[in-house]
Amino acid sequence: MAVYAFFKGKVVPVEEAKISVMTHAFNYGTAVFEGLRAYWNAQERQLYVFKLPEHFARLHRSAHIMRITLRYSVPELCDFTLEVLRRSEFHQDVYIRPIAYKSSEVVGVRLHNLEDDFTLFAMPFGKYVEREEARCCVSSWRRIDDNAIPPRAKITGSYANSAICKTEAVENGFDEAIVLNPNGNVSEGSAENIFIVRDGALVTPRVTENILEGITRQLMMQLGEEELGVKIEERAIDRTELYVADECFLCGTGGELVPVVEIDHRLVGSGHTGPITKQLQKLYFDIVRGVNKKYIAWCTPVYV
């Protein structure tokens, strides 16, 4: 199967999409990115990209924070994505990675007086967290702060923080990390937003707790309120509130929706996926695969 990428203003075979070792973004992490998923619907023989324009709108916001000029509009970026997917002829679930980056081949830490560029590639991709129900630990590392490296922007360099937390968790026998912010409040997973259920309410950290303003996070709040009729709370969550939660799950485009059944060797609720989490999980996968036609407008078909 030939796989293609968008690079230097055109669609090329992915093996031709190469940058220099001197590229500023490679040396200093001065790039922003998005992660999108496209889901294969075997019954319809269709590949659906979920929340396509929403992801590129966020990429523009991240680029603005990092003083990266992204010269393509959201509709143009959507068109490039669809062209790459069609040329690659994917007939399975796919992960899409667009990157806007400082492309100058220079040494020196800064954001100003540098050239900018954009690239995009896609690849077949399965589950991010392998287990159906995850065991988590609270990381000994803290989440980056908005006044240090803004977490609301998807900055490549900031994911060193995520990598440290994830590896610590896995090497200690867990599936994923839960990270606290500098104030000691729950922030998010290593690369996912987090929700707990307490007394029937769906609770998630506020955007001011150094979280990524997640597209899937917003979706969970909308579905929880509109489809399940549960109360939504955005507020600070203490570490020990994780231990007494009735349910817990992580969510994100890459991570999808992963139930959390144990935190720091303490069972969450019954130790199995809770009823609210289970309902949201089914809703989510029916929506992203284009099965639930009520929300089909959120799914962009690749093959016409």
Percentage of the chain exceeding pLDDT 70: 100
Quote the CA–CA distance of 284 and 194 in Å, as a whole number.
Answer: 15
> Across the chain, what does the average pLDDT equal?
97
pLDDT score recorded for residue 50: 98
Quote the CA–CA distance of 20 and 8 in Å, as a whole number.
Answer: 13
- Could you give the residue numbers annotated as active site? 154
Query: Which of 226, 214, 224, 213 is CA-nearest to residue 247?
Result: 224
pLDDT score recorded for residue 128: 76
Longest Cα–Cα distance of the chain, Å, equals: 56
- Tell me whether strands 94-102 and 116-124 are parallel, antiparallel or unpaired: antiparallel
Question: In sequence order, what are the residues at sequence separation of 6 or more whose Cβ sits closer than 8 angstroms to the Cβ of residue 79?
Answer: none
Question: In sequence order, what are the residues at sequence separation of 6 or more whose Cβ sits closer than 8 angstroms to the Cβ of residue 256?
Answer: 37, 127, 128, 216, 284, 285
Domains of the chain: 4-124 (3.30.470.10), 134-288 (3.20.10.10)
Q: Are 176 and 189 in contact (CB under 8 A)?
A: yes
pLDDT score recorded for residue 68: 98
pLDDT score recorded for residue 187: 98
Quote the CA–CA distance of 267 and 245 in Å, as a whole number.
Answer: 9
Pick from 118-127, 180-189, 226-235, 287-296: least confident: 118-127
Whose structure tokens read 């899937």? 216
Q: Are 189 and 250 in contact (CB under 8 A)?
A: yes
pLDDT score recorded for residue 123: 94
pLDDT score recorded for residue 217: 98
> Over the stretch 44-56, which tens digit does the pLDDT of each residue have?
999 999 999 999 9
pLDDT score recorded for residue 220: 98
Total H helices, total E strands in the chain: 7, 17
Per-state percent for the chain, helix, strand, coil, to nearest 5 = 30, 30, 40
Percentage of the chain exceeding pLDDT 90: 96
Quote the CA–CA distance of 196 and 203 in Å, as a whole number.
Answer: 5
> Over the stretch 58-116, which tens digit does the pLDDT of each residue have?
999 999 999 999 999 999 999 999 999 999 999 999 999 999 999 999 999 999 999 99
